[in-house]
Chain A
Amino acid sequence: MTETVREQNITSDELSVAATGIDLRLPFGVALIALACIAPLFLGNYPLHAIIIALIFLLPAHGLNLLLGYTGLLSLAQAAFFGVGAYTSGLLAVHFSTPFYVNFLAAGVMAGALALPLGIPALRLRATSFVMCTLGFVIIGQAIAKNWISVTRGDMGLSAIPKPYFALGPASFTVSGTVRFYYLALAIAAIGTVIAYLIVRSPAGRNMIAIRENETLAESVGIPTWHYKLVVFMISAAFAGFGGSIYAHYLTVVSPLTFQMYYSTTMLIIVLGGGAGTISGVIFGSLLFVGLSEALRVTPELRMIVYGLCLLGLVFWFPSGFAPLINRFWSFLERRK
């Protein structure tokens, strides 16, 4: 795992050389955003649904990338915070009929706040024990969702969670239908991506990389590594909580199955497959792996087998994910005549 992360750093964008000729990166980026904006014009509901799921999973994946790709901490707890966010939003919407932005913010804040008491003991553990501990959070989360029946309705789950609606004074607006939901998910994913980008570009991002590279050395230059790990753990949990909130409002049901290891591994595959320690790699990873998983629903019997084979191929041919390829592509755009 760490090997993959290490290899990644060398191909980071810091190494790009001086540009000659026209820099095509900005136009290309604008074209991609434009393409994302007009996608509903030429995509049917099913592909749009797949992209919505990918955009929702992008948020916890960004969170995990901050933790794993930048700070070097492998956590399987993303599904737990994803579930906390989903239940927080679902309960608020069902019991108090609060507007979407309230549920959404509450989900992120709740997950982030819960990460504080969970992170304090967990982050004291060494690498492998920390991974096992975060795995435990998912299992405990599921057990609570199943058994705290008076609140969570147990295995029946929460149903009839309303589609997101915004209310400002007398005006209200409900996001119904796949196309509208697509734009909502796209906007939230875009904001999440910008925030993740700002974090990794800030001085704190540099300190996170320092911790990943060599924790003792980071300590020796005055970086309070433990506090940073705790803060990043909370931020990554908040990202997962936000993702869980949209997920609840999109599916309109939340069940104990929201807390499942499958989601944590999906997020891990997105980050490692896309390229840990890069923002663009994670975006590519979420579109590819969630898209692939949804697309394979055409052959339900073979779906997981094919998915597994694809992952095996990935590990053999692209051991550090697609980030090196993406970086090469970016520098190709940069240097074009």
Chain B
Amino acid sequence: MTGLPILEISGLSKSYGAVRAVDSVDLHVERGEICGLIGPNGSGKSTFFDCATGLAKPNAGAVKLDGQDITGWSLNDIAREGRMLRSFQKTVVFSALDVEENLVIAGQMFTFPGILSTFGIGSTAHNRVAALRERARGLIKIAGLWDVRFMPAGKLSGGQQKLIQFASMLMPEPKLILLDEPMAGINPKLIERVVDSIRLANTSFGVSFLIIEHNIDVVTSLCKRVVVLDQGRKLAEGTPDEIVRNQAVREAYLGG
């Protein structure tokens, strides 16, 4: 894993009034790496994600994706042009639509060159959607959702919705995926399956990951490098072993 990092964030800051939610944080993700981001509740992890992916505007700092400066880009531009996708802490799917439609929607903007072309009704548009459907079915099979593919996504369990969300992010052949607590609130049996999917996407599709996760076993098994945030600042960085032994990190978690 040599060369430029896929994601390089420097001096990122975000304040809400007097509260400095994120305070000049530097973070990078190597190409092909699964990097963990942990920290106590309220340490600014999600705000950091929001600023990195364009959902919130940072007050200061720069975000470079694959060598390109994407600071200030909107969420949809970063997803579409940058192929950096993110999940949300609270699982979200298009709940009224079936699983297959969810995945097709997730791939559309990467197949069609512009907004106007999506209004197309000719054979080009038809073939593009057919190809997306084909890819969606393949991912649905891998995710083990084949039997429920025509069910409205909102009627499925929380874990299944996480899998839909994850499969959706793989529709456009992403460079980098940011996962916000992928294991929160899902059945322990499904945790293995989600961990396997992440590993599979990493090894076979070459997707890099930055993962916020509270489940320390998952972090230890997936990540070679972990970054710890506390009160908006970077507290520590290192291998999972180093982090678990780090005195400052222990104190932060114990509220010391």
Contact = CB atoms under 8 A, between A and B. Distances in A.
A204 interface: yes
Nearest to B87: A220
Given A207-B108, A221-B105, A221-B168, A6 B115 contact: no
Contact of B76 (A198, A222, A231): A222
A223 B94 contact: no
A199 to B, nearest CB: 7
Given A214-B92, A222-B76, A206 B119 contact: no
A294 interface: no
A216 interface: yes
A34 B85 CA distance: 51
A198 B105 contact: no
Interface stretch (A8-16, A158-166, A244-252): A8-16
B110 A222 contact: yes
Interface in B24-77: 53, 55, 74-77
A202 interface: yes
B115 A209 contact: no
Nearest to B82: A222
Contacts of A201: 121
Contacts of A14: 97-98, 101, 150
Interface residues of B, number: 41
A219 B76 contact: yes
A213 B88 contact: no
Size bracket, chain A contacts: 20 to 34
Interface in A195-253: 198-199, 201-204, 206-207, 209-210, 213-214, 216-225, 227-228, 231
A222 B157 CA distance: 25
Nearest to B94: A213
A228 B115 contact: yes
A204 B118 contact: yes
A32 to B, nearest CB: 23
B170 to A, nearest CB: 11
Interface in B103-122: 104-110, 112, 115-116, 118-121
B125 A202 contact: yes
Contacts of B76: 218-220, 222-225
Given A221-B109, A223-B76, A231 B115 contact: yes
B152 interface: yes
A15 B119 CA distance: 24
B172 A210 contact: no
B120 A213 contact: no
Given A217-B88, A222-B76, A224-B76, A206 B95 contact: no
Contacts of B110: 222
A272 to B, nearest CB: 17
Contact of A9 (B80, B96, B108): B96
A3 B172 CA distance: 32
A223 B109 contact: yes
Given A206-B108, A220-B88, A213 B95 contact: yes
B86 interface: yes
A199 B168 CA distance: 24
Nearest to B92: A217
B79 interface: yes
Interface string B137-165: 00000000000001010000000000000
Interface string B162-176: 000000100110000
B136 to A, nearest CB: 12
A203 B125 contact: yes
B125 A217 contact: no
A203 B112 contact: yes
Contacts of B125: 202-203
A214 B94 contact: yes
Nearest to B110: A222
B115 A204 contact: yes
A218 B88 CA distance: 12
Given A219-B55, A220-B76, 7 more contacts: A202-B120, A202-B121, A207-B108, A217-B94, A222-B79, A222-B110, A225-B76
Interface of A: 6, 9-10, 12, 14-15, 198-199, 201-204, 206-207, 209-210, 213-214, 216-225, 227-228, 231
The 3 tightest CB contacts between A and B, nearest first, are: A9-B96, A222-B80, A222-B109
24 contacts: A9-B96, A10-B152, A15-B152, A198-B121, A199-B119, A202-B118, A202-B119, A203-B119, A203-B128, A206-B105, A206-B108, A209-B94, A213-B94, A216-B55, A217-B92, A221-B168, A222-B79, A222-B80, A222-B110, A223-B76, A224-B77, A224-B115, A225-B76, A231-B115
